[in-house]
Structure 1
Amino acid sequence: MSEIQHKTALLNGIQLHIAESGPSDGPIVLFVHGFPELWYSWRHQIAALSAHGFRAVAPDLRGYGDSDKPESFSSYTYLQVIGDLVALIDWLGAEKVFVVGHDWGALIAWYLCLLRPDRVKALVNLSVAFLPRNPKFKPLAAMKALYGDDYYIVRFQEPGEIEARIAEVGTEHFIKFILTYRKPEPIILPKGSEFGNGPIPLPPWLSEDDVEFYIRKYEQTGFTAPINYYRALDLGWELTAPWTKSQVKVPVKFMVGDLDLTYNSYGAKEYIHGGGFKRDVPLLEEVVVMKNVGHFIHEEKPDEVNKHIIDFLQKY
């Protein structure tokens, strides 16, 4: 971790914090984190990739960590975040980069490749498969119809409401609840008992020091800006209408845990394995399903994930 350099750059009108490691002339790998993650979530990958001669670059996305946090939820659509990443690629002096994404970062990476395939050499995405835009249904209405009003993304919509509940249970409890979630089912948050009761034990792959890093940052910044990504889902759906039925045309490797809530969501397995995924991502080269692994696959099984990433990227 001591070899990681931390920088701040003015990109797309905001200050972004960037962590990077590896030779300055190495092939750039851009890591895009999810919720409630930070650049730190890629610590294992940064170490491994930089040791193999790659220049590993992991920003705190807008709204997270030490990056700027625009106030309006409308500042957190795919288009703005992709604008940040394209500006970052320019700032790094690159024409094209490798991209690795997880969770929200995977969604953003899919759209980066959809909108600007000219800037991406190849993509490794974790946990969240490509979600083709459905022109008939807005995301929130579809989620509410499938999972009900207590589905976590639906619960996240009312400004201030879920933040107040997080404040009541405490940042530590909330962080542990999310990072240790391993049920192969949707996150349902019934009002008044959203995050369970009592202490939450940590799995072997997550230390108290790791959790403390997240706690320290989120107690400084709060959760509103990261949750605004969820509040901008319908707006993002509207703005990406021109790309309906577009294909992702960069080389792709996809990895997911068999206990991941996203892999077990409605229709996901049928889409991933039944031909739909390959139809929409024609350069999809491999799908890896890791057994007995949850959502935070890159932290739970870093050695295996790192090997998959390195083996794939070295082909290009």
Structure 2
Amino acid sequence: MEPEGVRHRMVEVAKGVRLHVAEVGPENGPVVLLVHGFPDLWYGWRHQMVALAARGFRAVAPDMRGYGDSDVPPSAGSYSIFHLVGDLVALIADLAQPQVFVVGHDWGALVAWQLCLLRPDLVRALVNLSVAYHPRSSEGSPLQVVRALCGEDHYMCRFQSCK
């Protein structure tokens, strides 16, 4: 059941890419940007959104590109970390806020960290849930590191295309 007062809209974040955004709370309140994990949607934040709005914050939770009601670019190359961070940068610009609080969960935590690293000027504070920070590794690509640490049964490995 959707919480009362949630507003929905589409925001163009890149040429041909629109994100579905759910938000609740005062339009002029400080923004808390909630970045979902995999596989999830804005809806996973619904309880936190209501609690934040009750405290005067404007809680904003997009469906990331490729999820829910957001656009699904067909090319795998359209999902790089630069595209994902760019989506959040464009969303923050649309919110007309100089800085936002950011909360990331799971895969969304990875995107949130990169937002902080690439555009620290836009982030007032960051809270990430469920995932520890791992800086770039000299041991290979992220997938190679996951395979070495967790083996082929890790979900990231299982979701790769078979060749």
- Indicate whether the TM-score tops 0.5: yes
Counterpart residue number, 1:15: 18
1:149 is the counterpart of 2:152: yes
8 Å contact kept, 2:35–2:103: yes
Between structures 1 and 2, the one with greater strand share: 2
Q: TM-score, normalised by structure 1?
A: 0.49
Displacement of 1:147 after TM fit?
2.7
Displacement of 1:158 after TM fit?
1.1
Displacement of 1:150 after TM fit?
2.5
C-alpha separation in 2, matches of 1:122 and 1:151: 31
1:32 is the counterpart of 2:35: yes
Superposition map of 1:1-316 within 5 A: 1-13=3-15, 14-158=17-161
Displacement of 1:136 after TM fit?
3.1
Gaps of 5+ in 2: none
Give the ranges of 4+ consecutive aligned residues of structure 1 lying more than 3 Å apart after TM superposition. Answer: none
For each residue in 1:180-232, what CA deviation from the matched residue of structure 2 results, as whole angstroms up to 9, or x when unmatched? Answer: xxxxxxxxxxxxxxxxxxxxxxxxxxxxxxxxxxxxxxxxxxxxxxxxxxxxx
Displacement of 1:74 after TM fit?
1.5
- Count residues with an aligned counterpart: 160
Between structures 1 and 2, the one with greater helix share: 1
Displacement of 1:63 after TM fit?
0.4
Q: CA RMSD in A?
A: 1.4
Displacement of 1:142 after TM fit?
2.2
Q: Percent identity?
A: 59
Q: Partner letter of residue 127 of structure 2?
A: V
Q: TM-score, normalised by structure 2?
A: 0.93
Gaps of 5+ in 1: 162-316
C-alpha separation in 2, matches of 1:117 and 1:127: 22
C-alpha separation in 1, matches of 2:141 and 2:13: 30
